[in-house]
């Protein structure tokens, strides 16, 4: 009997080792707990996305085995509060307080999950969001500073660059995204060995943007739009800027980020499942 128990224990350990990707939620049969932070001030396009996300994620939560909370109280970005959640989402901005930044960095370095959308990666010196957090912008996200963007917000054809990653499972080679304002960055992510570019803008998208300024229309180049850092459970999405009716005060949304591109929606839901796993 003793030998039989030892054999059972060895076999169980072998199964666990052979399946290291089993998620924390699957192991204890509990849904992944997701908390989204947001600011929702100043830019009406970002505010529109935040409100949209806070409606969409709860609708998708139960069927995709996660729970969703959101807060605009960035003081909750501390170790005690974060310990309740497997995934943190930054819907628009980033934390500015040094203690909040330190708590987030420690959360990520100890196996936490993160999804960041659009403006969460923005940094530009001599703006309200200067590049004053080197770990976050250069090491973690890796993109460095914002350089320029397309205008107006338009859909793009996206190409899956890494079909082997769990986040891109069951996606076609290319698909049409929702409308967004697309960013160009100071760092070339292709030269960073820690960055795995999951999707980029496909060449069939060009010209991308409608102007009216000529530099707001892209005609060529390589532009990553979704990527992960191999050292963390994180995914950055360049999507998250809705088109707005600026002629009438910028309060009416002319496009949506969520619910308009089924493949993009699946990509985001895949990312929650992957980021919510314990290493």
pLDDT value for 31: 96
Give residue 2's pLDDT. Answer: 39
Phi and psi at residue 187, to the nearest 5°? -100, 140
Q: Which of 169, 160, 146, 132 is nearest to 241 (CA)?
A: 146
Mean pLDDT by 10 residues, the chain (279 residues): 41 38 52 98 94 98 97 98 98 98 98 98 97 98 98 98 97 98 98 98 98 97 98 98 87 94 98 88
Tell me what pLDDT residue 11 has. Answer: 39
Looking at 1.10.10.10, 1.10.10.60, 1.10.150.120, 3.40.50.880, the CATH number of the domain 31-275 comes to 3.40.50.880
**pLDDT for position 251:** 81
Q: Which residue has the tokens 């990312």?
A: 271
What are the domain boundaries of the chain?
Answer: 31-275
Provide the whole-model pTM.
0.89
Which pLDDT score, from 0 to 100, does residue 9 have?
Answer: 37
Instruction: Note the residue count of the chain.
Output: 279
pLDDT in the model for residue 278: 67
CB atoms within 10 A of CB 210: 12
Three-class SS state of 126: coil
What's the confidence (pLDDT) of residue 249? 73
Q: Rounded distance, CA 29 to CA 74, Å?
A: 29
Do residues 11 and 63 lie in contact, with contact meaning Cβ atoms separated by under 8 Å?
no
Q: How far from 132 is each of 39, 58, 128, CA to CA, in Å?
A: 18, 33, 11
Residue 19 pLDDT: 37
Taking a C-beta distance cutoff of 8 angstroms, is the pair 156, 208 a contact? yes
**DSSP assignments along 128-164, one per residue:** SS-S--HIIIIIIS---SEEEE-SS-B--EEEES-TT
**What phi and psi, each to the nearest 5 degrees, are found at residue 4?**
-65, -40
Q: What is the pLDDT of residue 24?
A: 40
């Amino acid at each position: 009997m003793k030998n039989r128990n030892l054999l059972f224990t060895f076999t169980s350990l072998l199964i666990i080792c052979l399946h290291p990707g089993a998620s924390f939620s699957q192991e204890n049969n509990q849904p992944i707990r997701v908390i989204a932070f947001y600011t929702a001030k100043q830019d009406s396009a970002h505010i529109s996305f935040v409100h949209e996300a806070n409606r969409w994620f709860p609708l998708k939560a139960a069927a995709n085995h996660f729970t969703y909370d959101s807060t605009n109280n960035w003081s909750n970005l501390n170790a005690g509060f974060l310990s309740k959640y497997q995934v943190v989402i930054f819907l628009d901005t980033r934390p500015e307080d040094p203690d909040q930044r330190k708590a987030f960095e420690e959360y990520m370095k100890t196996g936490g999950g993160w999804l960041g959308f659009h403006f969460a990666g923005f940094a530009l010196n001599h703006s309200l969001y200067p590049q004053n957090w080197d770990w976050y912008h250069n090491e973690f996200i890796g993109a460095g500073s914002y350089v320029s963007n397309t205008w107006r917000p338009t859909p793009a054809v996206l190409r899956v660059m890494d079909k082997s990653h769990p986040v891109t499972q069951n996606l076609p080679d290319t698909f049409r995204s929702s409308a967004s304002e697309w960013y160009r960055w100071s760092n070339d992510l292709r030269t960073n060995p820690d960055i795995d570019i999951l999707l980029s803008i496909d060449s069939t998208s060009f010209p991308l943007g409608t102007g009216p300024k000529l530099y707001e229309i892209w005609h060529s180049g390589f532009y990553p739009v979704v990527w992960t850092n191999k050292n963390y459970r994180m995914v950055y999405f360049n999507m998250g800027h809705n088109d707005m009716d600026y002629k009438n005060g910028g309060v009416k949304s002319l496009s949506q980020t969520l619910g308009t591109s089924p493949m993009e929606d699946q990509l985001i839901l895949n990312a929650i499942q992957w980021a919510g796993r314990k290493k």
